Amino acid sequence: MSLLAVLDRLSEVSSFDKTLESARTAVNKALQPQAFKDLLHGSWLGHPLHPILAMVPVGTWLSAGLLDIAPPTRPAATALITTGVAASLPAALAGAADWSEQDDAVRRLGALHAVSNVAALGLYVGSLVARKKGNGGLGRALAYTGLGVASASASIGGHMSYAQSSGANHSVVDARQLTTDWIDLGPLDDLPDGRPALRTGEGQGAPVPLAVVRRGAKVDAFISACAHVGGPLAEGTVEEVRGSECLVCPWHGSAFDLESGQPRRGPTASAQEKLQVKYEAGRVFGKLPDRHVSK
């Protein structure tokens, strides 16, 4: 059985779901207010923050492994390990924030990822203690074991991103399917004012749901599948969030600026795919931006 198949099997184990739900509640309570949680999600950056922060412990610990080979560079290795230990706290907080807003299968693997990271951190702390006490051999042994555990944990995190699409922009998948021609969204007067309506565009094989919002004579149109994990924005609401009129997802409350599609509230860290709009003879038409046209 391949490593990926093993991880897929593990993501189906539901024995610890009750414990994970309690942990999720605790994380949500601890990471308040929402602005703090959004800071950790990376909603302000337009990119998930966790993988960026996680680069520091991974990079410093890997570099320390190389510097530990030769005696003259071992003090530098100790400094790098210390840096990685300090950087693991913000990385863990950002990971916990994202983990708390994912589905069951991702949360199960995420728990394994977190436990592995805590084990790696413990080994590196033990390594620093051993080095401080003058037991360099033990310090290096603990650090190399920690590097192995951290590497295994990183592969779990990679599986969560690539195989389970956690952190991916889920609106892009539908955008890729959608025709790049102008789509007739119907008469302006048929659109309800101030709330999203469902329209569909021609896709490759299946229609693509669109969320269309009319405010007076102005219309904003988006891919309906939410950038976070694909919730139906056409069933969402229009609300003012942090000073902007936003389309709000009914699943986890991500809020997208109606003008730009940029996130104004998490858990999403990605912008929602937005269509260009034109009006002709009382009808509304939408079209994907040219970046989606394949050459």
Tell me which residues touch ligand FES (CB under 6 A). Answer: 226, 228-231, 249, 251-254, 267-268
Give the number of C-alpha atoms closer than 13 A to the C-alpha of residue 172, restricted to the C-beta side.
9
Give the number of C-alpha atoms closer than 13 A to the C-alpha of residue 33, restricted to the C-beta side.
2
* Cβ nearer to ligand FES, comparing 107 with 140: 107
**Inter-axis angle of helices 104-132 and 3-10, nearest 10:** 110
Contact 85, 120 (CB under 8 A): no
Token pair recorded at residue 281: 């003879």
Residue 233 CB, shortest distance to ligand FES, in Å, is 7
Task: Compute how many other C-beta atoms are within 10 angstroms of the C-beta atom of residue 218.
Answer: 12
Residue 270 CB, shortest distance to ligand FES, in Å, is 11
* Cβ nearer to ligand FES, comparing 65 with 196: 196
Residue 121 CB, shortest distance to ligand FES, in Å, is 29
Alpha-carbon distance of 185 to 210, in angstroms, equals 9
* Cβ nearer to ligand FES, comparing 84 with 230: 230
Residue 232 CB, shortest distance to ligand FES, in Å, is 8
Residue 245 CB, shortest distance to ligand FES, in Å, is 17
* Cβ nearer to ligand FES, comparing 46 with 187: 46
Residue 197 CB, shortest distance to ligand FES, in Å, is 18
* Cβ nearer to ligand FES, comparing 38 with 68: 38
Alpha-carbon distance of 37 to 265, in angstroms, equals 9
Alpha-carbon distance of 19 to 16, in angstroms, equals 5
The enclosing H or E element of 286 equals strand 283-287
* Backbone φ, ψ for residue 130 (5° rounding): -60, -40
* Cβ nearer to ligand FES, comparing 43 with 60: 43
DSSP lists the bridge partners of residue 211 as: 198, 222
Contact 262, 269 (CB under 8 A): no
The enclosing H or E element of 64 equals helix 50-67
Residue 239 CB, shortest distance to ligand FES, in Å, is 13
| CA distance readout (Å), 194 to 7, 251, 265, 284 | 44, 19, 19, 16
